[in-house]
Amino acid sequence: MRAKSYNQYLDILPEIKDALEKGLPIVALESTIISHGMPYPRNVETAKQTEQVVRDNGAIPATIAILGGRLKVGLSSAEIDDLGKKGLDVIKSSRRDIPFLVAGEQDGATTVAATMIIADMAGIRLFATGGIGGVHRGGENSMDVSADLEELGQTNVAVVCAGIKSILDIGRTLEYLETAGVPVVSYKTDEVPAFYARSSGYKSDYQVNSPNHAAKALHAKYDLGINGSILITNPVPEIYALDPNDINNTIEEAITEMEKLGITGKQTTPFLLSRIAERTGGESLDTNIKLVLNNAKLAARIAVEYSNACKDGK
């Protein structure tokens, strides 16, 4: 059999390359959560726990980053350690940043959008993350809209997450996704979760009740040649969920502080997550970690079923 040809800028770990050639289940994981989402050493611990959860549920983890200008599909333990220690010094990288990091041989931690792009280059169809970016609160005036949304509309990688980050305008984000033709699916519920909380008050487009159900929809979408993602939202386990009203009040306070300090752009999300963690006594960080692990578990199970569907041709 002729070996598959990959983009010249990709470095794929041998285990992952072998799995791609054999059609085995793989789950992509982002690296911004390591460098910008959590403090050291919990960021590194969580990244490695997430990889293990993927393995425990039958799939192979592929943590993605840009290192020395190379697009890395799969990181070594030492590379994860290094990203975690460098933290905010690593460039937070979205679609627009990729060519400049490659040309400059720099390091980059990949956002949802950048991770989707690189996963798609490798042929990985499932990606687990915490929450996606979206329309920021006040975005109708600031036009602050995450590149994640555009990517979800055009790139063939399904994303499993705990919903749209609570710090965002969830209603406007869902309207954007509808316009972009992205199905918003909820796992075992008909409501879209709100990251820290299990419910946002908004209904999802579809409900799926098993990994096989989600995998069949994903297989049908790509078999039909319909480009773009399916956003699979997975509520944080109830035992770890935060009260929607309490967390919303905390977010509003953090946003007010952020506006007074004049913080904008890429620094917005790291600042808000840090302030929210401080104001909840670390409870929000614990919830963040638990929902990431929960999403990795579901994504791995969907990846297994999707791999089987592709082999069966149905």
pLDDT of 256 reads 86
pLDDT of 223 reads 94
Say if CB 34 and CB 48 are below 8 A apart. no
Catalytic site includes residue 165 = yes
Q: Which two tokens stand for residue 263?
A: 């913080």
- Where b means 16+ CB within 10 Å and e means fewer, 165-187 reads bbbbbbebbbebbeeeebbbbbb
pLDDT, tens digit (0-9, with 9 covering 90-100), for 209-266: 999 999 999 999 999 999 999 999 999 999 999 988 888 888 888 888 888 888 877 6
Give the CATH number of domain 10-239+290-312; options: 1.20.1250.20, 3.40.50.300, 1.25.40.850, 3.40.1790.10.
3.40.1790.10
* DSSP H or E stretch at residue 30: none
Say if CB 251 and CB 272 are below 8 A apart. yes
Distance CA 166, CA 269 (A): 11
pLDDT of 2 reads 47
Exactly one of 30, 51, 151, 305 is catalytic; name it. Answer: 30
pLDDT of 143 reads 85
Residues of the chain where predicted confidence (pLDDT) is lower than 50 = 1-2
3-state secondary structure (DSSP) of residue 135: strand
Q: Which two tokens stand for residue 78?
A: 């030492």
Provide φ and ψ at 189, rounded to 5°: -160, 165
pTM: 0.92
Domain ranges, ordered by start, for the chain = 10-239+290-312
Exactly one of 165, 221, 297, 305 is catalytic; name it. Answer: 165
Catalytic site includes residue 30 = yes
